Amino acid sequence: MAQVTTRSERALNRVAIASVLVITLIFLAPIYWITSTAFKPRNLSTTIPPTVMFTPEISPFVKLFTKRSQLRTQPTAEEYEAAPWWERLVFDGGEKVTRSGKGEIQLSGYPSRFMNSLIVAITSTVLAVGMGTFTAYGFSRFRVKGEADLLFFILSTRMLPPVVVAIPMFLMYRVVGLNDTHWGLIILYTAFNLSFSVWLMKGFIDEIPKEYEEAALVDGYTRMQAFFKIVIPEAATGIAATAVFCFITAWNEYAFALIMTNRRAQTAPPFIPSQVGSGLQDWTVIASGTFLFLLPVAIFTFLLRNHLLRGMSFGAIRK
Amino acid sequence: MTSLDASTRAAARGMSDIKIRNLFIIPTILFLIIFNIFPLIYSLGYSFTDFRASSNAPANFVGLQNYRELLSDPFIWNNFAITAKYVIVSVTGQVIVGFGTAMLLNRDIPFKGLLTTLLLLPMMLSMAVVGLFWKLLYDPSFGIINYALGLGTFEWLSNPDMALYAVALTDIWMWSPFVMLLSLAGLSAVPKHLYEAAAIDRAGPFYTFFRITLPLVAPILMIAIIFRTMEAFKTFDLAYILTSQPTTEVISIRLYKMAFQEWQTGRSCALAYIVLIMVLAITNIYVKYLNKVKER
C-alpha cells in the first residue's frame, strides 16, 4: 500500500517485515514442535533444555500402530533373527509389543480410528457437496418462493452449539440404532456441512454466466444435460474448494464423535486424547498420532491455498 | 426471449424446470428439517420432563420446573459468566493480533502469499488435537513455553486463575489468522487515493489510521468479530481437552456433563434451550448488523 519514499518509511518497512517474520515463526512453532516430537526417541521428548538436534526415528510411529501392552516374553536372539523385517522393526522400535499367537503383532486402536475418520469424512463430504451443488443450482437459476428465508434457514442450522444438537440426536439415534455407527456420524456431518456447501456453491454458480446453459438448451440439450455437461465442469474448482472445507470440518469434528461413538465407529479426534492417561505418558507416540492426523489437512491447505483464501473471505463476507 | 424459448423447448424434451428445481432443493430442505429441526422439537418435549436417559423410568411431566431451577441456579450463571469472560478475552486477543498482523502484511512484504498461507494452518487443525498438543507445550516441567519464556515451572493449566487464560491463548493462536485474513481483505479494498490525499494534506499516521483505515475496515472487521464471538460462545473441545478446572467450565462443558455424565436428560434439554435462545439473540444482533452493512 504505502509507497516507500523517505528513509524513515524504509526503516518502518524493514521493521514491518521483521515483525511479520517473527509472528509467522511464533505461529508455526507449536506445529513444528509436535512434528519434531513425533520423530524423537522417547528419552529426548521431555528433556530440559529441549532437544533440538537429534537423529529422527520412526519408533514412535511403530509404537503408535502396534499394541503397547506388556510383553509376554522378550524375543530370543534366534526369534529375532527369524522374524521378518517388519516384526524386527517392532522389536527395535516399540520396546513393549504383545506377540499374540505365533509371532503375530497386534494393531493398536489407532489405524482403525484413522480409517473411521477417513470413511466418515469422505462420505459426508461427497454427500454434502453433492446435495449442496444441486441445491445451490436450484437457488441460483430458478425462482424460489421465499428464497432469502430458505437460505437463511439453511444457514441457521449451522449456528447451534454442537452439544445442544447432540442431546436430542443422541436420544433419536438410540431409538433408531444409529449410535456408534459410521452412518450416524456421516448423517450428522452431512447435515452440518450442507448449509456451508449450499452457500459457498451458490456463490460459485452465480458467477457462471447463464448464457452458457441457454446456448446448450438451444443446441438441444435438456436442462439436466446442460447442468451436468456445462455447469458442473465450470464449477469444478469451486466444488473442489468446498469439498476441502467440508472434509476439514468433518475430519476435525470432536463433540459429536465423542458423544455418538464408543468403539466401532470412533474417529481419531476423541481417540487420540483418550490415550493420554494420567501419570507417565509417551508424548512421542501421541505426537506421531497427532502428526499423521494433521498431515492430510496440511497437504490440502497447501495444495488449495488460493481457493481456500478465496473461499474463506468469500464465505465469511457473504454470510 | 431466448432464455424463455430455450427453457420451454428444453422442458418439452425433459423434465420441466419446476420439477428440476424441486428435485434439486426439496431433498436438502427435508434433510435439514429431519436432522436439525425435528430433534430440537423432540428435545423441547423432554425439557419439560424429569427424563433420565440412563434409566428405563418413564418421563414425568414437570412443567417449567427445569427452567425455573436452572435460571435460579448460581452455578449455571457462573458457567455463563465464565463463557462471557472467555469470549471477551479470546476475541479481543484475536482482533488485536489478527488485525495487527494484517496491518503489517498490508505493506510491501516479500513472500506475502506464502506467509499468509502458512498463517492459515492453525485454523485448519482439529481443536481437540490442538488442545492435546498445547497441553504438551504448557507442561510446567518440560513444556517449551515455560522454557522459551524463562518461567521455570509456572503452572498454566492446573492453576485455576490461569487456566482460562491459557485456553484463551490457545484459541487466540488458532483463530487470529481468521481475523487477519478478513482484515486483509478489508484493508486491500481501501481505495489508495484516500491515502494519497491524506499524504498531500500532511495527515499524521494516527489521523490516517483512525479517520481512513479503521472506518473503512470496520464493517468486515465487525463480521470477523461476530463470527468469532459465536464460535467462542460454542467452545467445547479446546477447554474440555486442555483442562478440567471448575474455572474453565464454559456452558458447553456444563451442558455436556449434565447430559452425558450426570444423565439429567430432561434438565439438560432445558439448559440447551436456554443456550439456544441466547445464540438466537446473538444471531439476531448479527443479522441486524449485516443489514446495516448492506445498506451502506
| Residues A36 and A51: beta-carbon distance below 8 Å | no
pTM of the predicted model, to two decimals?
0.87
| pLDDT for residue A233 | 92
| pLDDT for residue B288 | 80
CB pairs under 8 A between A and B: 293
- Contact between B185 and A138 using a beta-carbon 8 Å cutoff: no
Which chain A residues contact residue B237 at CB under 8 A? 254-255, 269
Which amino acid is present at B143? G
Average pLDDT over chain A reads: 82
Find the mean pLDDT for residues A248-257.
94
- Contact between B187 and A165 using a beta-carbon 8 Å cutoff: no
What burial letters (b/e) apply to B59-71, b meaning 16+ CB within 10 Å? eeebeeebbeebe
Kindly state the cell numbers that stand for A39.
520423530
List the single range of A22-31, A36-45, A58-67, B247-256 with lowest mean pLDDT: A58-67
Whether pLDDT at A78 is above 60: yes
How many Å apart are CA B135 and CA B139, to the nearest integer?
6
Nearest CA in chain B to A188: B35
Regarding beta strands A104-105 and A99-100, do their DSSP bridges make them parallel or antiparallel, or are they unpaired? Answer: antiparallel
Whether pLDDT at A146 is above 50: yes
| pLDDT for residue B5 | 59
| Residues A276 and B243: beta-carbon distance below 8 Å | no
Interface test with A, best of B132, B182, B223 (most A CBs within 10 A): B132
| pLDDT for residue A138 | 93
| pLDDT for residue B103 | 92
Q: Could you tell me the pLDDT band of residue A41, with boundaries at 50, 70 and 90? A: confident
Report the percentage of chain A scoring pLDDT > 90: 37
Which chain A residues contact residue B25 at CB under 8 A? 134-135, 138-139, 144, 150
How many Å apart are CA A3 and CA A271, to the nearest integer?
52
Q: What is the pLDDT of residues A91-100, one digit of tens each?
A: 655 444 444 4
Contacts of A108 (CB under 8 A, 6+ apart): A64, A65, A66, A67, A68
3-state secondary structure of A135: helix
List the single range of A1-15, A74-88, B176-190, B245-259 with lowest mean pLDDT: A74-88
Is B81 in the A-facing interface, judged by CB distances under 8 Å?
no
ipTM for the whole complex: 0.85
Whether pLDDT at A311 is above 50: yes
Q: Could you tell me the pLDDT band of residue A183, with boundaries at 50, 70 and 90? A: very high
| pLDDT for residue A1 | 47
Average pLDDT over chain B reads: 87
Find the mean pLDDT for residues A52-77.
69
Q: What is the pLDDT of residues B179-211, one digit of tens each?
A: 998 898 888 888 888 888 888 888 888 888 888
- Contact between A161 and B234 using a beta-carbon 8 Å cutoff: yes
Among candidates B23, B107, B275 on the partner chain, residue whose Cβ is nearest the Cβ of A1: B107
Q: Could you tell me the pLDDT band of residue A70, with boundaries at 50, 70 and 90? A: very low
Whether pLDDT at A265 is above 80: yes
Whether pLDDT at B140 is above 50: yes
Asked whether the CA dihedral B186, B188, B190, B194 is positive or negative, the reply is positive
CA angle centred on B235, ends A242 and A292, rounded to 5° = 55
Q: Could you tell me the pLDDT band of residue B222, with boundaries at 50, 70 and 90? A: confident
Q: How many CB atoms lie within 10 A of CB B111?
A: 13
Whether pLDDT at A101 is above 60: no
Contacts of B32 (CB under 8 A, 6+ apart): A153, A154, A157, A191, A194, A195
Among candidates A49, A217, A293 on the partner chain, residue whose Cβ is nearest the Cβ of B129: A293
Q: Could you tell me the pLDDT band of residue B6, with boundaries at 50, 70 and 90? A: low
Kindly state the cell numbers that stand for B66.
427445569
| pLDDT for residue B27 | 93
Nearest CA in chain A to B252: A163
Give the single-character DSSP code of A231.
Answer: I
Kindly state the cell numbers that stand for B214.
479503521
Find the mean pLDDT for residues B53-81.
90
Write out residues 108-147 of B within 8 Å (CB-CB) of A: 108-110, 113, 115-122, 124-129, 131-137, 139, 141-142, 144, 147
Question: DSSP string spanning B198-227?
Answer: HHHTT--HHHHIIIIIHHHHHHHHHHHHHH
Q: Could you tell me the pLDDT band of residue B240, with boundaries at 50, 70 and 90? A: very high
Q: What is the pLDDT of residues B84-121, one digit of tens each?
A: 999 999 999 999 999 999 999 988 888 888 888 889 88
Q: In A83-161, where does DSSP find H-type helix?
A: 85-93, 110-141, 147-156
CA A72 to chain centre: 37
Kindly state the cell numbers that stand for A306.
488460493
